[in-house]
């Protein structure tokens, strides 16, 4: 009887704690954009916040949301290709770089200059990822990585010839002042040390493509899709889970032992060393270092859903009346406390609720 009472008390304490926690996790009111209100295409690969302006890389053009209106850029405007997979902002100049299926484009005060493998030193026209740091623009392409020196227009190419890249299908790049990371699809993660100019690779230590044998002993999987390096902590998204690496220890996240809604990840974007957002095929997930929250249309009813999972694994369903446009999330960017989310069926703006 005493044990039962104790258990009931524990249950209520846990439930109450989870209720409190659910109130702490960020909540959003979602507004969704589709072609119906000016988005160039509903399939949004990438989103970029540029102050009050929002750029959306879609399957059929680059959209710019400014002053409540959408402006669209397509190849007829000089864009390298209509499918825009990744976007990066040069914060110093305001130039926006767009990685497309047909090359790399720079949008500078309305003028678009496109770099292709035919007219420049770009390694390949299929550009999956782009990042800017200082005078360098880093690209991840289907034929390795590349770096454009914007002062001299000289290209440096990185592939199997000069790096430990045994697979040259680079998918994303994240440059930082000390390190540059590449997510190599099928080849793990590649690290470039800016000071020593040396490369190092990180791979799945168990070498298993579908299983996790050695959890937390290295990268969760070789098929990496995204890297995010903030506060000297590396976050990695793969098609089989996520990883966090602080330079010494790895920690991996799987649906079975975390709040990840799916092990299939398209992007990870870190807030700091402990917090990150995960774009999965089953919703948008947030991790605050201990607890998780998920934002999506419910998988079965498609009604707006927000789930909170505490560190102990207790799950609370928080009542919400809006959700991102679709479960299939491809990317996210921050606008202060707000979020902009690229999904397979539209672009979503999450306004943080107090």
Under the rule (CB under 8 A), what is the footprint of other proteins? 92-95, 106, 108-111, 113, 117-121, 123-124, 135, 143, 150-152, 154-157, 159, 161
> In the block, which residue shows the tokens 């969760």?
220
Q: CB 78 → other proteins: shortest distance, Å?
A: 10
Dist CA 100 CA 82 (whole Å): 7
Residues 6+ away with beta carbon under 8 Å from 335: 49, 54
Least Å distance, CB 76 to other proteins, is: 13
Query: Using CA atoms, how far apart are residues 153 and 136, in angstroms rounded to an integer?
Result: 10
Q: What span, in angstroms and rounded, lies between the C-alpha atoms of 258 and 142? A: 32
11, exposed or middle or buried, with CB in 10 Å at 0-12, 13-18, 19+?
exposed
The structure tokens 């926690």 sit at 21
- What distance in Å separates the CA atoms of residue 154 and residue 348, rounded to the nearest whole number? 37
Least distance (Å) between residue 194 CB and other proteins? 18
Nearest distance from C-beta of residue 74 to other proteins, angstroms: 17
> What's the token pair of residue 303?
């009604």
Smallest gap from residue 119 Cβ to other proteins (A) = 5
Taking the C-alpha atoms of residue 301 and residue 67, their distance in angstroms, rounded to an integer, is 34
Of 57 and 123, CB closest to other proteins: 123
Query: Which residues lie across from 54 on neighbouring strands?
Result: 49, 65
Residue 116 Cβ vs other proteins, minimum distance, rounded to whole Å: 9
CB neighbours of residue 228 within 10 Å: 22
> Cβ of residue 53: shortest distance to other proteins, in angstroms?
12
293 in Cβ contact with 308 (< 8 Å): yes
Q: 31 CB contacts (<8 Å, ≥6 apart)?
A: 322, 348, 349, 351
Separation CA 4–CA 12 (nearest Å)? 12
Q: Which residues of 184-198 are buried (b: 16+ CB within 10 A; e: fewer)?
A: bbebbbbbbeeeeee
User: Could you give the count of Cα atoms lying within 13 Å of 32 in the half-sphere of its Cβ?
Assistant: 22
Comparing CB distances to other proteins, the nearer of 155 and 199 is 155
Residue 222: CB minimum distance to other proteins, A: 24
CB of 163 vs other proteins, minimal distance in Å: 12
């Amino acid at each position: 009887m005493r044990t039962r009472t104790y258990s009931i008390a524990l249950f209520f304490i846990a439930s109450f704690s989870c209720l409190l926690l659910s109130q702490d996790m960020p909540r959003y009111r979602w507004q969704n954009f589709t072609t119906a209100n000016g988005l160039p295409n509903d399939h949004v690969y990438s989103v970029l916040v540029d102050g009050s302006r929002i750029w959306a890389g879609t399957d059929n053009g680059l959209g710019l949301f400014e002053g409540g209106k959408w402006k669209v850029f397509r190849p007829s405007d000089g864009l390298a290709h209509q499918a825009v997979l990744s976007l990066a902002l040069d914060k110093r100049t305001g130039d926006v770089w767009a990685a497309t299926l047909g090359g790399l484009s720079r949008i500078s005060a309305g003028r678009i200059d496109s770099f292709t493998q035919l007219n420049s030193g770009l390694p390949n026209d299929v550009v999956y990822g782009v990042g800017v740091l200082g005078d360098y623009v880093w690209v991840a392409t289907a034929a390795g990585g590349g770096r454009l020196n914007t002062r001299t227009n000289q290209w440096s190419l990185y592939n199997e010839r000069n790096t430990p890249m045994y697979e040259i299908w680079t998918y994303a790049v994240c440059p930082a002042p000390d390190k540059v990371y590449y997510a190599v699809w099928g080849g793990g993660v590649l690290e470039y040390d800016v000071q020593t100019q040396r490369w190092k690779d990180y791979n799945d230590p168990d070498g298993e493509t579908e299983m996790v044998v050695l959890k937390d002993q290295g990268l969760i999987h070789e098929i990496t899709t995204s890297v995010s390096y903030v506060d000297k902590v590396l976050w990695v998204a793969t098609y089989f889970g996520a990883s966090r690496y602080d330079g010494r220890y790895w920690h991996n996240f799987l649906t079975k032992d975390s709040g990840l809604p799916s092990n299939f990840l398209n992007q990870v974007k870190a807030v700091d060393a402990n917090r990150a957002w995960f774009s999965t095929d089953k919703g948008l997930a947030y991790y605050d270092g201990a607890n998780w929250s998920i934002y999506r249309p419910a998988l079965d009813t498609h009604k707006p859903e927000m789930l909170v999972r505490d560190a102990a694994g207790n799950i609370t369903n928080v009542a919400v009346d809006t959700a991102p446009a679709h479960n299939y999330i491809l990317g996210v960017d921050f606008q202060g406390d707000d979020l902009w989310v690229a999904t397979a069926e539209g672009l979503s703006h999450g306004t943080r609720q107090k």
